[in-house]
Amino acid sequence: MIIESIVTTTNSDGTGNLSPMGAVFGIDRTILELRPFSGSRTLENLRQRMVGVVHLVDDAMLFVRSLTDTWEERPPMQLATVVAAPMLKEYLRAIEFQVKFVDDSSHRANVMCEVVEQHIGRPPRGICRGLNAVIEACILISRVDFLPASEIDSQIPGLQKIVDKTGNPQDIAAMELLLQHYRKLTSSGSAGNK
């Protein structure tokens, strides 16, 4: 099972890095696997520091701002309790982990991690198709470097419709910001996120 999450790690200059990542959990959730692409800051930070925090969240804007690195204000952070890594103050679950093994022999690394602490935060808002549609759009746009534009462009209108019909105002604003970012990337011809 893959849970789309926000992973926090520490950059080489000591600042915190937030990145949307899929986390693959083992059945009893004592281990997890991350699959960062080579060249991502998350992979570099995990290699250097060997620790981080996976956050389960239901805030579409957090996914969009972490992906695009366009913060009006960065979300409140704190130090994790067991590992030396930054952790969000607001989350549904925060899962501190220690890296046990990195296999970076392919373009997408396998990072095996041991869960060392878990925190339960506020209750989830429940299943919302609008939120899920923003996440799907984020994933598509995060792959702008290697997906054909036609594949992205053909899926956006359907996702937009779901967001408009079922999302809350934050989901709608997050989708708008994401699409602005996408239009900027495609009009400047410089694909890539962050």
Residue showing tokens 């067991």: 82
* Amino acid identity at 163: V
d(CA 158, CA 96): 36
What is the nearest approach in angstroms of ligand FMN to the Cβ of residue 181? 11
Helices and strands, counts by H and E, the chain? 5, 8
Residues 34-63 close enough to bind ligand FMN by CB under 6 A: 35-37, 40-42, 63
How many residues contact ligand FMN, by CB under 6 A? 20
- For residues 81 and 125, which CB has a smaller minimum distance to ligand FMN in the complex? 125
Nearer to ligand FMN, 81 or 184 (CB): 184
Closest distance between ligand FMN and the C-beta of residue 90, in Å? 18
Q: Binding residue for ligand FMN (CB under 6 A) from 8, 10, 16, 19?
A: 19
Burial tier of 19 (Cβ tally within 10 Å: 0-12, 13-18, 19+): buried
Where are the alpha helices (H) located in the chain, listed in sequence order?
Answer: 41-49, 60-68, 129-142, 149-166, 169-188
The C-alpha atoms of residue 67 and residue 44 are separated, in whole angstroms, by 17
Q: Which residues pair with residue 139 across a beta bridge?
A: none
Report 103-142 residues binding ligand FMN (CB under 6 A).
Answer: 135, 138-139, 142
Smallest distance, ligand FMN to C-beta of residue 3, A: 10
Tell me how far, at minimum, the Cβ of 63 lies from ligand FMN, in Å. 6
Closer CB to ligand FMN, residue 67 or residue 162? Answer: 67
Extended strands (E) in 69-109:
77-79, 86-88, 93-103
Per CB under 6 A, the list member of 8, 10, 16, 21 interacting with ligand FMN is 21
Counting contacts by CB under 6 A, is residue 193 touching ligand FMN?
Answer: yes
Q: DSSP letter string over 67-79?
A: HHT--SSPPPEEE
By C-beta, is 113 or 135 nearer to ligand FMN? Answer: 135
Pairing of strands 77-79, 51-56: unpaired
Q: What residues line the site for ligand FMN (CB under 6 A)?
A: 4, 17, 19-22, 35-37, 40-42, 63, 67, 135, 138-139, 142, 193-194
